Amino acid sequence: MAFTLNAKSRTLIGDKARADGNLPAVVYGAGGEALNLELSYVEFAKLYQAASESSLIDLNVDGTAAGKILLQEVQFEPVKGRIRHVDLRRIDMSKPLTTMVELHFMGEPPAVKAMGGTLVHNVNEIEVKCLPSDLIDYIEVDLTVLKTFEDSIKVQDLAVPANITVLSPHADNVVAKVTPALTEDEIKAMETDSSANVDLSQIETAGKKKEEEPAEGAEGDKKDDKKDAGKKDDKK
C-alpha cells in the first residue's frame, strides 16, 4: 500500500503550532539536515492508523517531494491521549536499514477451537535488516498449523522473504502456541506468584476478538510512546 504525507516548513514552536490545530514534527536522518515541520492533525492521525513502523511513506514538504520516510517516534499527551509530536526518519534508498516489522496473526488454531486451549503470543514483531525497496509492511503468521498442544510456531518458521535478514528474536524463540486452558485457581495462583514467568497480558482465550484500533489520536498497541520536540510522541 502506498502512503503519502504532506507537510509544511514550521517556524512556530510546538505549542503555537498545536494551538493552530496543527501537529509539530521533525524529519532527520540519511545525512540530511533536521527540518522542523507541521502536519495536518487529521491527515496524520489517519495515516498513523493505517501505516506500520516498516511502511515507507512519500514525504512532501511545501508541495515538493522530499523523499521516503519511516514513522520513527510518536509522542502522545498523557491525559487526553492526543498525538503531540512526531519524529520522521529520512531514508536513503541505496543503503540497508534496520527496523521492526509487525506480525499479523491469521486464522484460528484447531487446538483452540476443538480442544479448548488458550492461544499464547510470545512475539508480536521482529527486527529485520534489508534494503528499503525490500521492506514489507507486515508478516502473516498462519495459526491454523497449531493443531495440538505440542505444536508451536518459531521465528525460524515465519515466512520471511529471502532478501530480508531477521536480527531478533533468535530463530528458536517461540512466536505462538496453544496451551491447555487454565482454571480460575491456576490463574489466581499465577497472579500472586512473583516467580511466575508467564505473561498473562499475552494470553488470548478462545473466542475472544481483538479490539479495534483506537480512533484518531487515541493510544494504541501499534506503537510505543516516545520523546518530544527536538525529537518525538501514544501503528503504527
205-216 residue pLDDT tens: 444 444 444 444
Residues with Cβ < 8 Å from 184, sequence gap 6 or more?
A: none
Tell me which fold the domain 3-90 belongs to. Answer: Ribosomal Protein L25; Chain P (2.40.240)
DSSP, res 225: B
Question: Rounded CA gap, 112 and 64, in Å?
Answer: 52
The confidence score (pLDDT) of residue 190 equals 78
Q: Residue ranges of the domains in the chain?
A: 3-90, 97-204
Strands 165-168, 203-204: pairing is: unpaired
Positive or negative: CA dihedral 195, 196, 198, 202: negative
How far, in whole angstroms, is CA 26 from its chain's centroid? 20
CA-closest candidate to residue 78, choices 228, 231, 230, 236: 228
Gap between the Cα atoms of 205 and 119, Å rounded? 6
Task: Classify domain 97-204 by CATH architecture.
Answer: Beta Complex (2.170)
Beta bridge partners, 37, equal 9, 25
* pLDDT tens-digit map of 165-204: 999 999 999 999 999 986 778 778 878 875 555 555 555 5
**Each residue of 14-30: pLDDT tens digit?**
677 687 778 999 999 99
Single-letter amino acid code for the residue at 126: I
Grid coordinates representing 186? 491456576
Q: What is the pLDDT of residue 203?
A: 56
